[in-house]
Chains A and B, each alone.
Chain A
Amino acid sequence: MTATPVSPSEPEIGRARRRKEDARLVTGRTRWTDNMSLPGMVHLAVLRSPVAHARISAIDTTEARRMPGVHEVVTGADLAERQGSMPCAWPVTPDMKTPYAPALAVEEVHFAGEAVAMVAARSAAEARDALDAIDVDYEDREVVLDVEAAARDDSPLVHEELGTNRSATWTFDSAEAGTGGDVERALRDAEVRLDRTFRQQRLIPAFMEPRSVLVDPTGEQYTVWSSTQVPHILRTMIAMTLGVGEHKVRVIAPDVGGGFGGKLQVTPEEMLTFLMAERLGRPVKWTESRSETMVSAHHGRDQVQRLSLAARADGTVTGLKVDLLADMGAYLRLVTPGIPILGALMFNAIYKFDSYRFTCTNVFTTKTPTDAYRGAGRPEATFAIERMMDELAAELDMDPLEVRRRNWINHDEFPFDTVAGLTYDSGDYEAATDRAVEMFGYQQLRDEQLRRRQRGDTVQLGIGVSTFTEMCGLAPSRVLGSLSYGAGGWEHSQVRVLPTGKVEVVTGTSPHGQGHVTAWSQLVADRLGVPFEDVEVLHGDTQSSPRGLDTYGSRSLAVGGVAAVRASDRVIDKARSIAAHLLECSEQDLDFSAGRFSVRGTDRGMALTEVALAAFTAHDLPEGVEPNLDAEVSHDPENFSFPHGTHLCAAEVDTETGRVRIRSYVCVDDVGTVVNPLVVEGQVHGGLAQGIAQALYEEAVHDEDGTLTTATLADYLVPSAVDLPEFHTDRTETDATSNPLGVKGVGEAGTIASTPAVVNAVVDAIRHYGVTDVRMPCSPQRVWRALSGARASSATAAESGGGLGSVDPDQPFPTGGDR
């Protein structure tokens, strides 16, 4: 997609504006946290535990202190009274078990990579050298790595003092909630019952810019620069964790090179840099190496998912039971325990299930803590249900699209109250699916698949379907309250028209690659009728943008963008009263369009710019009107937004090697009104890359000692453009009715939708050999083993269709090709 030429009369919304942010980013003229240097600044390096679980019996820092350039060496024992415990803002149940989580380990380490000591030195090299001179004695304790074993009563404990590895169990039951029927009954009465277990592997967010923190304690306030998604949350959490006055802390997130949830965190290193700066009274900077990112920044996903699905023989699903084990890792970070719970509301997806039960047990292991990673809870849910829908189709010998049609919410059934208790405001699954099927050439591919099967080709073809929805735009504060989340979900914006008519928009969202500056400029330019270039967007500094809840959960446009638009409307209201006063007419007689008030039925009028100057000079303002043209809004959304879409993947599987090649990928997403198609396209592409990466490439692997063996980007396989197919994308636009712009989130859609589409395609390609699942990532070896295993057992396997249970074998099912 290319940027379209701009004609001044065209609205900004919908225009493929090139991003304002790009020039400085692509020419390297920006300033990341690590580029910053302050007078007197020293560098911090962190020593990390090489072992997963041990008591620290001794730390000797004598030699390190004598190393050249070293200012200070600090251990957990030195900070025991000062550092507090790292915050967790989401106590999912009242009896949730939360371990003490010091920023610097005091007596015991619980994962390999945990911070045990830190050095401040004149240069980064000297700080790093001094780490090698610190001597730590570890007394090994038993590691706890497997989440299923950890959940059992006989498991060794991660945190002895908790008495269990189970942190919390969270349940939703539609019968109890009154949102649907009893799932046990549905399973009992099922004509078809499917039981499956899926594994969500552990992933690493792998943002491009490693984390970096700089703290300057020399001013009246502490100034903290951090490569974070959440400057506002960080400020509050520094205050609450370390007992510093919140008013004494200013946090700045300068340009931030990606986050994907990995920087939706309040990190031990942020606290440590702060504490070292406090100790030394001079600026301190910490920047991590990629190796540190891999072991110490939080990981994502990591669940065992057990599902039971009840259906009628015609493919109508009557109930779904979900039982999760979620691996927390060693500690509960900012929102760790809530991540799997976010999926609770999404397993029913776009379907009209009668009954639903969800149970999740959060479990500790001696591994890096998990937390938000692009999609956070919803990819897991979407994967599981979309895999189940394909399994059901296979079981019933139906086309997977037909199974979905039979169960999904029709476009004329919105708003729709789901079995999980949400209200979907809008959607048109038929339209998105029809368009995707057409672009994909669905029938031709099915025909080719059949031919290849009949010929017994070495390379088989599979087709995977994923019709997804997700809840985003986090979030109505009352809903977060009902989930025991520790904050609200509102967002703040201020719009200021300067005396010369230029506009400043202050937003509490904190972009780190999304292009908010461009999109917010478009929104406000349209609303106020000023040129796009005349709008400046201020963000990411708690001084210039004092209120906000930052960027994650595809919330920024649907919540923060709407706040900016509502603030613009308030500016117009205020300007209207001034203009009416100056034009000596009533406010009702004024029309506002294209940045100008005009008195209806006359040629008299006044530009917003003129009103701004009048407000500034304040020579002649109406009674009670203050001399400025500013307005602000804290906007709390009334509902989530529910983007949806249909993703179709054709994958070729080389049955000799197990290699998977994506032959074709089509997605038709519905993200409501599109503010900037270029930005939306970018979000979809990046999202697809990350979702496909989960399906085929990425996995954080630990050895039996709990050491991460995929700790470099040579071992943790992040795909590049050459490893990914061309993406054929299109959109349908069904406006959200829950916000005035009609927008929905797009930041996570591609990631959420694509993983099951790819895995479904892989399984579909080789199902006729008897394969019913391939664990992610579907590496060549795993695919080959699935094939070899299936071939080996095919002699004894039941006839295909043998699992139909009570279905009348004579009943003719609609079929989808050779399935």
Chain B
Amino acid sequence: MIPAEFDYVAPSTVEEAVRALRDAGEDAKVLAGGQSLLPVLRMRLAAPSTVVDLGKVSEMRGVREEDGNLVIGAMTTHHEVVRDGLVNEHASLLALATRTVADPQVRHRGTLGGSLAHADPAGDLLAPVLALEGEMVLAGPQGRRTVPADEFFVDHFTTAVGPEELLVEVRVPKHTGWSAHYEKFNRVAQAWSVVGVAATVLVEDGRIARARVGLTNMGSTPVRAHGVERALLGASPTGEAVRRAAERAHEGTSPGSDASADADYRQHLAEVLTGRALATAAGV
């Protein structure tokens, strides 16, 4: 498994990285943790002229609080997200979902930004970021811009990131006090999701005050289960309420078919797993 030849640059700031991308021209590729890019290069599914390695861009790594948001650097590894105190406190859904990604080796290399920019519909971190109403901060030759999650994911493996742009950080509104669960359904432990459900709820005075549900692998982009969320509002967190709400999980989905699952089975799974995710999140 030998990739085609490419040039390699390793900038140390965002600015340099953007410049490197522009200089390298159209078929340059950004390298984050390499857990998706390297297989693609080795199987020669892509042959970029230049690889821009972000490994040395330290400003893109780490988690901080800013204006009521959590700001997670794109180069923060899965392992760091899982361990991070701020993420666990204010966006526990993301920490829980990240725990289900692959195996420890991959989690030590792979990054949040890489997962989101790669935009594999089976990736486990897209739905949580969508459900948490995250925003992506992109840097390009014209400076920075912010794109909300529901505009960021465009199609299979396609995002709003332009050819000369970088995903720099992810801003996630704090969901302090929300309980959460990520229900991942896969075939063997280190495999990708057949379907995944990201659910987080805020229970106040014995009622579900707010609910956010995102679905993994139920279409070419992650899907927000608005119908489910609406059905939960104001409900008391009971098994029955959760089950009834979960019946709407298939709405707005358009899953594909593959060797593990056909579309109708995926829609069925989405309902069952949404019920389970909500039940665990709401503690029923």
Contacts and interface: CB of A to CB of B under 8 A. Distances in A.
Interface of A: 124-125, 128-129, 132, 289-291, 656-657, 659, 697, 699, 701, 709-710, 712, 714-715, 717-720, 722-723, 779-781, 784-785
26 contacts: A129-B2, A132-B4, A289-B1, A289-B42, A290-B1, A656-B272, A657-B185, A657-B269, A657-B272, A657-B273, A699-B259, A712-B43, A714-B192, A715-B259, A717-B188, A717-B191, A720-B189, A723-B188, A779-B187, A780-B187, A780-B194, A780-B261, A781-B261, A781-B262, A781-B265, A785-B265
A758 to B, nearest CB: 15
Contacts of B105: none
A291 B190 contact: no
Nearest to B1: A289
Nearest to B194: A780
Contact of B259 (A657, A710, A718): A710
A505 B20 CA distance: 63
B142 interface: no
A291 B2 CA distance: 11
A786 B94 CA distance: 35
Contacts of A657: 185, 269, 272-273
Interface string B176-220: 000000000101111110100000000000000000000000000
Given A132-B44, A291-B1, A781-B260, A722 B189 contact: yes
B269 A719 contact: no
B268 interface: yes
Contacts of A656: 272
Contact of B2 (A128, A715, A779, A784): A128
B39 to A, nearest CB: 8
Contact of A697 (B1, B5, B188, B261): B188
B170 to A, nearest CB: 25
A124 B2 contact: yes
Contacts of B273: 657
Nearest to B261: A781
A129 B5 contact: yes
A128 B39 CA distance: 16
Contact of A714 (B2, B4, B191, B194): B191
A779 B273 CA distance: 17
Nearest to B195: A657
Contacts of B268: 784
Interface of B: 1-2, 4-5, 39, 42-44, 185, 187-192, 194, 259-262, 265, 268-269, 272-273
Given A657-B272, A720-B190, A780-B187, 6 more contacts: A125-B2, A291-B1, A657-B273, A717-B191, A719-B188, A720-B189
Contacts of A129: 2, 4-5
Given A701-B259, A781-B260, A723 B4 contact: no
A717 B185 contact: no
Nearest to B47: A132
A699 B259 CA distance: 10
Contacts of B261: 780-781
A784 B259 CA distance: 15
A657 B273 CA distance: 9
B43 A291 contact: yes
Nearest to A656: B272
A54 B42 CA distance: 27
Contacts of B269: 657
A657 B191 CA distance: 17
A781 B195 CA distance: 12
A704 B192 CA distance: 24
A656 B269 CA distance: 8
Nearest to A124: B2
Contact of B189 (A125, A132, A723): A723
Contacts of B44: 132
A128 B273 CA distance: 45
A715 B192 CA distance: 10
Contact of B260 (A125, A289, A779): A779
The 3 A-B pairs with the shortest beta carbon distances in the complex, nearest first, are: A289-B1, A722-B189, A128-B2
A599 B188 CA distance: 65
A286 to B, nearest CB: 13
Contacts of B192: 714
Nearest to A723: B188
B181 to A, nearest CB: 16
A124 B2 CA distance: 8
Nearest to A785: B265
Nearest to A777: B187
B197 to A, nearest CB: 12
A699 B258 CA distance: 13
Nearest to A45: B2
Q: Give the residue among B2, B43, B189 with the most A Cβ atoms within 10 A.
A: B2
A781 B192 CA distance: 16
B154 to A, nearest CB: 24
Given A129-B5, A291-B43, A781-B261, A697 B189 contact: no
Nearest to A701: B259
A125 B44 CA distance: 12
B187 A717 contact: yes
A120 to B, nearest CB: 15
Contact of B265 (A124, A710, A784): A784
Contacts of B1: 289-291
A600 B105 CA distance: 65
A101 to B, nearest CB: 27
Contacts of B259: 699, 701, 709-710, 715
Contacts of B43: 291, 712
Nearest to A716: B259
Nearest to A654: B272
Q: Give the residue among B185, B188, B190, B194 with the most A Cβ atoms within 10 A.
A: B188
Contact of B188 (A125, A289, A701, A720): A720
Nearest to B43: A291
Nearest to A703: B259
B17 to A, nearest CB: 27
B37 to A, nearest CB: 15
A164 to B, nearest CB: 31
Contacts of A717: 187-188, 191
Contacts of B262: 781
A712 B36 CA distance: 14
Contacts of A124: 2
Nearest to A721: B189
A697 B259 CA distance: 11
Contacts of B265: 781, 784-785
Nearest to A709: B259
A2 to B, nearest CB: 26
A166 B196 CA distance: 46
B163 to A, nearest CB: 24
Contacts of B194: 780
Contacts of A780: 185, 187, 194, 261
A124 B1 CA distance: 10
A697 B187 contact: yes
A466 to B, nearest CB: 23
Nearest to B5: A129
A712 B39 CA distance: 10
Nearest to B273: A657
A323 to B, nearest CB: 28
A700 B193 CA distance: 20
A717 B259 CA distance: 11
Contacts of A714: 191-192
A290 B260 CA distance: 21
A697 B261 CA distance: 13
A667 B261 CA distance: 32
B206 to A, nearest CB: 27
Contacts of B5: 125, 129
Contacts of A719: 188
A720 B42 CA distance: 24
Contacts of A291: 1, 43
A719 to B, nearest CB: 5
A767 B272 CA distance: 22
B239 to A, nearest CB: 12
A220 B34 CA distance: 47
